[in-house]
Amino acid sequence: MSTRAFRAGRATARPARALPRTRSHELRQIKATGVADATCQQSSGYRERLVTARCALEQEYVDAHKADLDALLSTAGVER
């Protein structure tokens, strides 16, 4: 908006500018990649295997450090 238009009382808000074509294209590509990645993870069973492996590793850690963890809980006043 020009200063002249503002002074003449014709002040109007400028319309929002659209994203440049290249930026819009990049965003579509990022979205498409994310959708393809999620679809692949779901169809391959990746997430289920990841959760299974993580739980096994966590349990292995707890089993190996049970005495230390129990002492920590006792010190904190937590009853099991």
Which is more confident, 25 or 68? 68
CA 22 – CA 67 distance, rounded (Å) = 58
Alpha-carbon distance of 3 to 75, in angstroms, equals 71
- Distance (Å) of CA 71 to CA 27, 58, 60, 62, 67: 51, 18, 18, 13, 6
φ, ψ for residue 13, nearest 5 deg: -70, 140
Region 31-56: what's the mean pLDDT? 95
Q: How far is CA 13 from the centre of its chain?
A: 35
Query: Which pLDDT band, with edges at 50, 70 and 90, does 49 fall under?
Result: very high
36 vs 5, more confident:
36
